Structure 1
Amino acid sequence: MESMSEVLRSMSTPDLRQRSVRLEQELLGHPLVRELLEEHPELEASRLRLHLSRLYQYVEESKHCANCPGLANCPNDFPGHYSKLSVETAPGGQPELYERKKPCELQLAKDAQDRIRKRITSFYVDERALSEGYDEIEIMGKDPRRMSAVNKLFNYIAHVRENGLGPRGIYLHGAFGTGKTFLMCYLLHELAVAGHSGVIVYMPDFVEELKTMMQDGARLKETVDAMKNCDLLIFDDIGAENLNPWVRDHILGAILNYRMNRKPTFYTSNYPLPELEKHLSFTSKDGEELYKGQRLMDRIRPFVEAVPLYGENQRGQHSS
């Protein structure tokens, strides 16, 4: 079938009438158009001929969708959408043909994923951990030694879906490369699907970046407020950062003080909780300050379930 633009370009040629009649016959005889007429016999052919361009668009986009090349290569005028025709009674009382653009299934799925991602803010965490997708069977079967910890996360997600968020989070600790970050990103994604907002922050880079934020009060406040107010907050790789007293006492302490008894905070770490307390008790500037480490731990330990994660180092392997 020729395009409408090709017909219009041929208006000055003698065979215009013949070509336009042929195009009209092809359109009116197309199975999709015949089906439309069977569903709406009240639509007169004379009215239908006034909307040949709509019929053409409808037929062509139906062909494109039947041979979909994927959302990124969608050839329709409005990518990710197709023409939907309907017959409605016009103000004058006559049936009239209307065209609307409808999102396809691929577009709807992308829109849903975009809405989920908008609920998640990542600071210095590899975006691939949040966007590569998750396979629960693979998560369970990746390493049998992870099963106990994985079940804890699955149960936590199911509990939140059924009962809503509580004030307690999870402290996931284990050796390098066992999948702590990946599993926390999975938890964050699943609860974002359920409508909760979340922030995940990679602690070593965040602490370094705070040194520059000291000169930008507005940016510092915006960042801290985001961590205070999100539904779920994940501190990834806590214990690997180079702490200073200001970060520990005035930033981390303020965030945790605000969230405790309000919203859950989650952690991944190579340290079990007693070792984390030792880490938080020492800063590069003031050395060891046990009571300040204990003070911060009083905002962590009572509000988490400590979950050990065992398994092989998966670094460099898929979905580690």
Structure 2
Amino acid sequence: MESLGDLLKAMPGGRNVREQADRLMAELLEDPLVGRLRGKYPELDDATIRLNLNRVYQCAKEYRNCSNCPGLDQCPNDFEGHYTELTVETLGELVQLNDRKVPCKKLTARQSETRIRSRIRSFYIDERALSQGYSADEIVKKDLERVKAVGQIVNYIDRTKEKGLQAEGLYLTGSFGTGKTFLMCYMLHELAKTGHTGAIVYMPEFVEDMKALMFEQGKLKETMDILKDTDLLVFDDIGAENLNPWVRDHVLGSILNYRMNRKPTFYTSNYGLDEIEQHFSFTNKDGDDLHKGQRLMDRIRPYVQPVHVTGQNKRGR
């Protein structure tokens, strides 16, 4: 942004700086912003304005920029996302004009959104699912067939905001592409606004990584501790993974055993609860083991509210 000195030099007859300053002073006194400032601080006289001409010019210039904001990334102000705010202080007979940089609403909103996202960890999930904005109305309008499911999730969010973390989570089931992952990201985003931490894990890739970390106990423990301790944990697309007994019993079982009665866990799946129990009962190594599958389900079924998500397949649209 141009300085006051540059402006005076660029004005016609720039050699007479005093005359140019007088002209600029007259323009600023007619500026509505300066009028509002003097209305708020009646003690602000012409002499004080002239003495602080650079500050007043800066404030007026930045105010006009903000009134025609081109967006935060193209902010023309000296300090991106900030504008100059003027205040007046009277010390005896001395009237003093003070200025400070204030973050604009767009910057404040961006910083707030960054803080919200920092509370959510994603493992193998497309970051776009967490970074885009969310609107409950838009979520409903995208597919009226899933209104009931959206209502259940919104009620869960409201209940958590009012009463704190719930004892049970949600188990979202439904066909491919109905938006189950998107709805869970929406829930994490909304509850992150109130300070809750969250993590979402894409199960097929998570399971393969856990197999690879079997002999790297430090990294394995670090990952498991994150998933145990986060306020809200989502296992996405559960049932699509290729389980082995070790991941089922020592990783997934350990995480769920720690979280039950402590913090809620959420799931999305193309399978219902009965079908997912059958899935847990079979591994490529041991074949059928109904007892192990049932044992894991004892850490899931009592701690979730089933939500059936209906609607059209939205992938590729």
TM-score, structure 1 as length reference:
0.89
Please report how far the alpha carbon of residue 187 of structure 1 lies from its aligned counterpart in structure 2 after TM superposition.
Answer: 1.7
CA distance in 2, matches of 1:188, 1:173: 18
Give yes or no for contact 1:7–1:16 (8 Å, CA) kept in 2.
Answer: no
Q: Is the counterpart of residue 173 in structure 1 residue 173 in structure 2?
A: yes
**Residue matched to 1:61:** 62
1:237 matched to 2:227? The reply is: no
Q: Deviations over 1:84-103 (max 9, x none)?
A: 1001234x762311112222
Over residues 223-268 of structure 1, what are the superposed CA-to-partner deviations in whole Å (9 max), with x where a residue is unaligned?
A: 2112111111100001111112222111111111110001110000
Q: Quick check: 1:79 aligned with 2:80?
A: yes
1:157-213 CA distance string (max 9 Å, x none): 222222222210111111111111111112222222233211111111111222444
In structure 2, give the amino acid aligned to 1:281: S
Q: Are the structure 2 counterparts of residues 206 and 58 from structure 1 closer, same or farther at C-alpha, using a change threshold of 3 Å?
A: same
1:33 and 1:148 map into 2 onto residues whose CA distance is: 54
Specify the code of the residue in structure 2 equivalent to 1:221: K
SS at match of 1:315: coil
Secondary structure of 1:250 counterpart: helix
With over 3 angstroms needed to count, the CA separation of the structure-2 counterparts of 1:55 and 1:189, relative to structure 1, is same
CA apart distance, 1:216: 4.4
Residue 118 of structure 1 deviates from its aligned partner by 1.7
Q: For residue 114 of structure 2, what is the amino acid of its counterpart?
A: D
CA separation of 1:311 and 1:27: change in aligned 2, threshold 3 A:
closer
1:260 corresponding residue in structure 2: 260
**1:274 is aligned to 2:274:** yes
**Cα–Cα, structure 1 residues 239 and 66, in superposed 2: closer, same or farther, change >3 Å?**
same
1:63 counterpart letter in structure 2: R
Equivalent-residue separation in structure 1 for 2:213 and 2:7 (angstroms):
62
Secondary structure of the residue that 2:201 maps to in structure 1? strand
Separation (CA, whole Å) in 1 of partners of 2:175 and 2:190 = 24
Q: Which residue of 1 aligns with 2:248?
A: 248
SS where residue 52 of structure 2 aligns? helix
Mean CA deviation greater in 233-242 or 159-168:
159-168
Report the 3-state secondary structure (helix = DSSP H, G, I; strand = E; otherwise coil) of the residue aligned with 1:100: strand
| Distance change in 2, residues 1:173/1:104 (3 Å) | same
Contact 2:8 2:20 in 1 (8 A): no
Find the counterpart in structure 1 of residue 309 from structure 2.
Answer: 309
- 3-state SS, counterpart of residue 166 of structure 1: coil
137-146 or 110-119: bigger deviation? 137-146
Alignment of 1:156-235 (within 5 A): 156-214=156-214, 216-235=216-235
Gaps in structure 2 of 5+ consecutive residues: none
The 3 A distance-change label for structure 1 pair 86 and 249 is same
Q: Hey, what's the Cα distance between the residues in 1 that align with 2:35 and 2:154?
A: 52
- Cα contact 1:174–1:310 (8 A) shared by 2: yes
Aligned to 1:30: 31
Does residue 122 in structure 1 map to residue 130 in structure 2? no
Q: Which amino acid in 1 is paired with 2:307?
A: V
Cα distance 1:87–1:274, how it changes in 2: closer, same or farther (>3 A)? same
Distance in 1 of aligned mates of 2:151 and 2:36: 52
Larger deviation, residues 182-191 vs 56-65:
182-191
- Residue identity matched to 2:290: L
Which amino acid counterpart does residue 204 of structure 1 have in structure 2?
Answer: P
2:6 is the alignment partner of 1:6? yes
Large movers: runs of 4+ above 6 Å? none
> d(CA) in 1 for partners of 2:266 and 2:229?
14
Q: Tell me if structure 2 keeps the 8 A contact 1:233–1:266.
A: yes
Q: 1: distance between equivalents of 2:125 and 2:259?
A: 21
Displacement of 1:218: 3.6
Q: Distance in 1 between matches of 2:174 and 2:90?
A: 67
**1:221 to 1:52, Cα distance in 2 relative to 1, 3 A:** farther
Which residue identity is paired with 1:303? Y
Distance 2:41 2:144 in 1: 60
